[in-house]
Structures are given as structure tokens and as C-alpha cells.
Structure 1
């Protein structure tokens, strides 16, 4: 692979992660502008719209997205991916943003890779390596600083934010593990498109999206458009394309741009005030994920082993 291809992959992945961070800021802006917008409604609109766009795109480029429903096992896994992977990673994240702010919600969600390590430890009896253990310790200290601001007898953020943020971090893990067996055969566009659409439709059980009477200005609809197009569809396609040029370990390191962009844009445009504990804790969490990513070859082997022997 040429240096130009590697640079292209790095740029694509970096911009994708920055756009994901911006989508959290756009959601926070929307919640502030219009308090009647719920995280559930926004997630439904985002998932259904982005899912349809991805599936239509897949059909246009000849991926044949409907083939995924031809087998009962793959169909069930798509549904599981949508409900157990995408719902927590998107709905719970938006809940954390609504009750808190985009930087803190994104940093807590960024702990997802460590949930994967804990999963392999508990269910696969795979002991973390020294870099993984070091990363977990650093992430714990960073999270503790964000949550307590150095005062261990009290919480500096709402327990509701911690609850939803924790669920979104678990969602990052399930969002990574569940669709793995489907990706080689059906491709990321079809798998993600159907996962989003299924999850968005199923969420109507908790509140039909068409029954919500949400009145939005042009600015509000602009925020929704940013979340769907620039915060979901475009970064997903860019990141998937980037993986053709760079290693997954490199892509994982570039994920750090998501909480960094969420923090930077929140401070610049939303006047979000972050304490030194938030900044130091966030930096430690990002450093911890980088430590884990630098040891990514073993993590990839573990995921592949899980994919070939899921039981």
C-alpha cells in the first residue's frame, strides 16, 4: 500500500470521527433549542432515515441488501444487532447528551473497548495483557475524575448521565461484537442499514414516532439533517472506506477525534464549561483507549476467534 493510500485512509477515518463528535453537539443544540424533542424521537428519526438511505445506496451500487433475510440465522442476528447493539449505542448516548452534555457523554461512551475486554475476561476466560490492564487502570482513574471531580464522597455529574452513558458504552461493545459474523458475507452497508432500520422501527413500541407532535424551526430541522447525513450516513461510509486503506488498530486510535471534536465544538459553540477534572479525566480515557489500541492485534485475534466459535 502506498503512503498516499495510507494518508487517504487516515484522513477519511479522522474526518468520520470528527463528524460523529459533531453529531453529538448537534443533538445537544437541538435539545436546548426545543425541549419537547426527546432522545427517543430523535433516535427513531435518525435510525429510520439513515437506515433507508444506506439501504438505497447499497441497492444502487449493487450490494443486494435483501439477501441478508434469506437465512433465519442471519436475520435473527440483524435484529439482535439493531436492538442490542445500535439501540444502546445511539438512544442511550442521546439520553446522556440530553441530561448532561456531549463531551462527557462521548467520553463515557468511549469506554466501550474496555467493556469488550471485560467480556472476554468473564465469558471467554481470556486474561487481559499487561497493556490492557494498564489501559483499564488509566481509564478507571480518568472516569473517576470526571464523575467525582476529585471528591470521592460525591458525584460531580448526574447519576442519570452516568447510567445512560454507561449503557451507551456497553452498546459500543455489543455494537462491535454482534454483527461480526455478518460483515464478511453481506458487507457493512447492508448490515448497518438493516440494523438501523430494524432498531428504529422497533423503538416505535415505546412511542410511535408519528404520534409525537414536535414543532421545529428551520434551524431545528437543520440540526436533524446534520445528525442524519453528516453525523450518521457520511461518516459511516467514510470510516468503512478508510478500513480499506488502514489497519483497524490505526482506525481505533483515530477514534480519539470523536470525544476531542465533541469537546472542542461544545466549548466553542455551546459555551459548555468543563473543569480541569473533566479535561484531565477525558485525556486519561483517550490515552487508555490508545494503549488498548496499540495492543490491537491480540484484540483482533480474540474477536476473530469469537466470530468463528461464538458458542
Structure 2
């Protein structure tokens, strides 16, 4: 019971950091000449380097073995450029043209793209609960982006475009490295993927100059890199030692919740009741996906939380 409680808190704190990082990125986009390309490059380059350094010098594990097998190299390159890079870039672009709250919520449509992909690959219809999840998520997305007025978008079309691409990219980020993660440490896989994914942005990182650099920018960058990337991911991995991945996936709902609350409080974002309902429906799909097999464990989580 105690170990489960530790795992739950680790998953929640990691999700809180992820959500807060989105709000920090929106702050930089709104108030300073920070571009998504520059921020993605800085985040991936710095976080990848620090993660690999942590594995090499703290955990004292080799980090080059992944490059000794052709299959693992091909998977790593696919993960870096078709999973890691687009998931980061589309998410920050969605924040740039929309806001952290809606970008994070639309990113939560990722599991639905996974359902569709698996159904197409296996050439069979999704489970009934999957079909229900797709319908609920579609309704939630429509409410979120239209505020209930079906003849007009409340978000800029480009923000909706990047938000849905963030969901699609989240699906590829989840599916591509499955075999790779079964053979190598997830820290090594993610560290190298981040480092490789930063390569296209290095010219921008090295040449782009901020017109102003102050403690607010420095603090936001440090939070995004250290708390919103490295610590959030480490906490996520540690939580898996105490609770199952499905439960961790449910608890990741704290990410869009955090981004929304912080955006409302700090960045004065206003969400209508209809938008809140839409967001709730999208997040609800994460619970529906694990409910058939995990309902008793979820009930146990609720009991632990009460204690």
C-alpha cells in the first residue's frame, strides 16, 4: 500500500511538471521573441545531453551499445525523427498559435490515433470501449474548438491543426520505440532520441538571438528543461516501479489539468463552460481505455488517496 502511494505521487508530480512546462512555454511565446523552433532545439539538445550524462556518470552504464546493432540504430533514428521531434515541435507550435491548456488537451487525443492505427494494422474493428472513446473524444474536441457553436471555430484553425498533429505525434512517439525499449534502458533511448531530434534545430539555436535576456526567461527555460523534461520523465519511470503503466497513464490527466489551471491563474486564460466540458470528455477517454481491465486497481487508488 505504501509503495503504491509512492508510485501514485511520483506519477502525479511528473504530470504536474509536464503541464507547468507548457504554461512556461506559453509565457515565453507571449512575452518574448522566443520561437517554438528555438525552444524545441534548446529543450531537446540540453535535456538529451543531461540525460545521457546522468546515465553515464551517475548510473555508470554504457550509452553506446545501442549504436552497435543495425536494427536498433534504425529504430532509434525512426523514434528520434518520427516520434520525438514531431511530438515536441507540434506541441509547442500548438501552444504558440493557441494556448498551453488547449494544446495539452488536444495532445491527449494521442491514444485515439493509437486505437485507429492498431485497428488498421490488424484489419479488425476496435473494441466497443474503443469506439465509445473515439466518439466521446470527437465530441469533446468539437466542443473545445467551437465552444458549442458548430458554424465557427473558437480557436485559430492553425492552432487546431497543430494540436491534432500533437496528438498524432504522441501516438507515433508511443508506438515506435516499443521494441527498442525492451532491449535498452529507456533513459538511454530517450536521451539519444532527444539529442538526435535536436540536430535540425541546431542552426536556429546557434544563430537565434533574444532581444532581451532576464531572470524570467532564464527561470522559464530552466524549469522547462530540468523540471518539465528531465525530472518529469524520471518521475514517470520511477512510478512504473510501484504502479502499472495503465494507472500511470490515467494519472497523466494531471498534465492538461495543470496546464489549464496555471494558464487561467497566471496567463489570464478564460475557458467557457462548454470548453471545460469538451476538455473533460477528451481526458475521460484515458480513463475509459483502462477501466475494463483496471477498474478494481483504480478503486484501490481512490482508497489510497483518501488515506
Q: Structure 2 length as normaliser, TM-score?
A: 0.92
1:190-247 C-alpha deviation (Å, 9 max, x unpaired): 000000000011333xx43101112321210110000000100001001011111101
Instruction: Extract unaligned runs of 5+ from structure 2.
Output: 295-307
Residue 22 (str. 1) matches residue 10 (str. 2): no
Cα distance in 1 for partners of 2:69, 2:237 equals: 25
Deviation at 1:28, TM superposition (A): 0.5
Equivalent residue, structure 2, for 1:125? 123
Equivalent residue, structure 1, for 2:274? 277
Residue 221 (str. 1) matches residue 235 (str. 2): no
Equivalent residue, structure 1, for 2:187? 189
SS in 2 for 1:244: coil
Equivalent residue, structure 2, for 1:245? 242
1:16-48 C-alpha deviation (Å, 9 max, x unpaired): 0111000000001111220x2100000000000
Equivalent residue, structure 2, for 1:210? 206
Equivalent residue, structure 1, for 2:288? 291
Write out aligned runs for 1:133-212 (5 A): 133-204=131-202, 207-212=203-208
Deviation at 1:295, TM superposition (A): 4.1
Cα distance in 2 for partners of 1:182, 1:62 equals: 20
SS in 2 for 1:186: coil
1:60-80 C-alpha deviation (Å, 9 max, x unpaired): 202311111111211121111
Whether contact under 8 Å (1:63, 1:190) holds in the other structure is no
Whether contact under 8 Å (2:101, 2:260) holds in the other structure is yes
Residue 259 (str. 1) matches residue 256 (str. 2): yes
Deviation at 1:148, TM superposition (A): 1.4
Write out aligned runs for 1:102-117 (5 A): 102-117=100-115
**Count of residue correspondences:** 292
Cα distance in 2 for partners of 1:253, 1:53 equals: 28
Cα distance in 1 for partners of 2:60, 2:76 equals: 20
Residue 235 (str. 1) matches residue 232 (str. 2): yes
Cα distance in 2 for partners of 1:94, 1:44 equals: 11
Say if 1:233 and 1:125 are closer, same or farther in 2 by CA, change over 3 A. same
Q: Structure 1 length as normaliser, TM-score?
A: 0.91
Cα distance in 2 for partners of 1:166, 1:88 equals: 12
Say if 1:163 and 1:296 are closer, same or farther in 2 by CA, change over 3 A. farther
Instruction: Extract unaligned runs of 5+ from structure 1.
Output: 298-311
Cα distance in 1 for partners of 2:73, 2:31 equals: 39
Whether contact under 8 Å (2:37, 2:204) holds in the other structure is no
Cα distance in 1 for partners of 2:94, 2:39 equals: 13
Whether contact under 8 Å (1:45, 1:200) holds in the other structure is yes
1:57-98 C-alpha deviation (Å, 9 max, x unpaired): 011202311111111211121111111111121111001101
Whether contact under 8 Å (1:81, 1:179) holds in the other structure is yes
SS in 2 for 1:274: coil
